[in-house]
Structure 1
């Protein structure tokens, strides 16, 4: 049976051709979600799948490529194709930016539910000038000097979040905040601003979602078909001045839950 064979499905009452590889991918996806193929299990070989579904190996390769892009499977040389471990779901609580007593932590470690020793941060700092987009977020002049801090956050060596955080160079020049050697900083950005005598009283976040860029997929080690959550965060001082903009923060979207608590008066 050739790879061009298509199943027929109904869409609004009209017959629509579905490529055979998509039908097979859907069947394999179902077998993975049901637990028939569990995390770490090796899938049958190409010849075996080709024989089972009575299609060419090219069709099977196309079906597996779809599942690989979705992050469900991975293929390694001489190790075959295996079902990937499903990452845990992490909840981003509404109060994660509040100061917490006890062991060192940041909003990220509290989101992940990990200790300080399980947290690793890749960082790169550079001085930049505010673009029109950044100037609008900071409510400052285009060209204002900023410190861009590029971060990749690791939970037990697994990259789960990336961001670029901008602070005003006039606030941090010559201070420990401008030196990457001091990252990660217990308490995060709010604590950093506090060390400079800046009292942050408001944090805003704006969320969008979409498919990952090639760089995001590679950095977070996810398939190109796994959606990501992107959001822009702003730290605002008690005088209304915006002192930090993170734009964007990126996490995989299929395992992130954002919790909001809205208290209403009667």
Structure 2
């Protein structure tokens, strides 16, 4: 890294040079950056500019500050490919417990952890519209934080209709995590999920999502709204499922078949 040619905001140029070195591998994960005073001399700027540049990199999730231990290039978790066919893992016979999440993450059941919170709510207009039921219908709201090998990888809010699950083992949070996930849960009630639709948007995380997923506030997330259907009826609404954008690639398979003669 050499002396920075400055025009515009000086900190942006310093941040761009450091970002390039990190992404190109010249500053690999786990590397400690030089002291602010040393960076300031290298780039011919003040330490205030360096602090602004470091803040920019922290917001992007590229570096982290460890108190008085300096600034370090952040170790980035592996990027996972998440397939649109992932729910087939919940349908297949299982030699050992698992879900579509453990399948995506490539982890064993022993490496899986699920934090859960259940409560009964009255469906607001949005939730009722997704379920295609009357506003105010009684719904079981579940909030999950999914961990893979101790690292939070996903949060979600999957909801179920009280008419389907109230008074059943599915409504008891002590039964989580449940092998086979929601599809298996509903099957025990005689409800066979036969269709799933998802809509995906990208956005910035909420403060709660940033904290739960331990991501920098400048890292975008995938926010997925999922509907599970059985015989044309919506039986589960997950709104939203949130995945850090720097940890996932969403793969979708579209099978085209000619219409029957």
TM-score (norm 2): 0.94
Tell me whether 1:63 sits opposite 2:37 in the alignment.
no
Aligned partner (choices 119, 128, 131) of residue 138 of structure 1: 131
TM-score (norm 1): 0.92
Tell me whether 1:258 sits opposite 2:250 in the alignment.
yes
Tell me whether 1:125 sits opposite 2:115 in the alignment.
no
- Give per-residue Cα distances to partners, 1:166-224, cap 9 Å, x unaligned: 00011111111001110111001000000111111101111000111111111111111
Structure 1 residue 6: Cα displacement: 8.9
Tell me whether 1:87 sits opposite 2:80 in the alignment.
no
Contact 1:162–1:251, Cα closer than 8 Å, also in 2: yes
Distance 1:263 1:163 in 2: 28
- Give per-residue Cα distances to partners, 1:138-175, cap 9 Å, x unaligned: 00000000000000000111001001110001111111
Gaps of 5+ in 1: 9-17
Matching residue of 1:175: 168
Matching residue of 2:202: 209
Contact 1:6–1:19, Cα closer than 8 Å, also in 2: no
User: 1:90-129 alignment to 2 at 5 Å?
Assistant: 90-98=80-88, 99-101=91-93, 102-129=95-122
Matching residue of 2:21: 31
Matching residue of 1:78: 68
Q: Tell me the secondary structure at the aligned position of residue 200 of structure 1.
A: coil
Structure 1 residue 227: Cα displacement: 0.7
More strand by share: 1
Q: Tell me the secondary structure at the aligned position of residue 254 of structure 1.
A: coil
Distance 1:83 1:159 in 2: 20
Structure 1 residue 263: Cα displacement: 2.2
Matching residue of 1:41: 31
Report the number of matched residues. Answer: 252
Matching residue of 1:12: none
Distance 2:142 2:15 in 1: 40
- Give per-residue Cα distances to partners, 1:49-96, cap 9 Å, x unaligned: 111111111100000000001110000112211001121111111211
Q: Tell me the secondary structure at the aligned position of residue 31 of structure 1.
A: helix
Runs of 4+ in 1 over 4 A off after TM superposition: none
Structure 1 residue 258: Cα displacement: 1.1
Gaps of 5+ in 2: none
Aligned partner (choices 218, 226, 231) of residue 219 of structure 2: 226
* RMSD of equivalent CA atoms: 1.4
Tell me whether 1:190 sits opposite 2:180 in the alignment.
no
Distance 1:237 1:26 in 2: 50
Aligned partner (choices 52, 55, 58) of residue 42 of structure 2: 52
Matching residue of 1:241: 233
Q: Tell me the secondary structure at the aligned position of residue 250 of structure 1.
A: strand
